[in-house]
Structure 1
């Protein structure tokens, strides 16, 4: 799970999806990724780790069982970034 969420783009995807389901086009725009292939690669990795799911075609979300782990990861990353003087996603 940590390896899947550790990539900066995947962590940003999780942060976006933690607020609610998003269509693929919205995710691609928000992330500024050049190709949908990159986004699908990241989403597949996150889905394999159980951190995202696709409830309907073209829409992704963080499943209920993963929302607290995702929020804990985001809080920990923010805390570490603040202590080191850097910013997160």
Structure 2
């Protein structure tokens, strides 16, 4: 059975929501809603369509370690540039090397290994790299989110 204090707090939260204002601190708030991202894109002869919806409460409860590994892998300027190039379609390592000069071949492979370990890049054939199809829109969403932080509307 709920106490009178719990019932009053719930009512205050509902009234605040109806009035379009935040409830007073200490009042219980039901977490609801969803974060949605997705879209359609055509890159390098490929067509992509994606829509993902996640509840905010679920997102903030996910273990930080695996997500931090993905963000750390993408967070290096050279690796982010590699993702920008590969999101358009597969590319040979030699082509990536040309785009990333003056990075050494060893540096390129180090970055590719880091991105591969995080699940952001795969090697479908010898010497060719790509963003896995399941990661195309998550990578674009990361780039979009970072852009929105740098250039808020």
Is TM more than 0.5 here?
A: yes
Task: Give the structure 2 partner of residue 58 of structure 1.
Answer: 127
Q: Shift in Å at residue 77 of structure 1?
A: 1.9
Match of 1:77 in 2: 146
Unaligned runs of at least 5 residues, structure 2: 1-69
Cα RMSD after superposing both structures: 1.0
Alpha-carbon distance between aligned partners in 2 of 1:13 and 1:39, rounded to the nearest angstrom:
9
Counterpart of 2:100? Answer: 31
Is residue 11 of structure 1 aligned with residue 90 of structure 2? no
Q: Highest Rg: 1 or 2?
A: 2
Counterpart Cα distance in 2 of 1:62 and 1:74: 14
How far the C-alpha of 1:68 sits from its partner, in A, is 1.3
More relative contact order in 1 or in 2 (CA 8 Å, sep 6+)? Answer: 1
**1:14-73 CA-partner distances (Å, limit 9, x unpaired):** 000000000001101111133100000000000000000000011000001111110001
1:33 and 1:39 in contact (8 A); partners too: no
Structure in which a larger fraction of residues adopt helix: 1
Distance, in Å, in 1 between the alignment partners of 2:84 and 2:90 is 11
Structure 2 length normalisation: TM-score?
0.52
The structure with the largest strand share of the pair is 2
Calculate the TM-score normalised by the size of structure 1: 0.87
Residue segments in structure 1 that go unaligned for 5+ positions in a row: 84-89
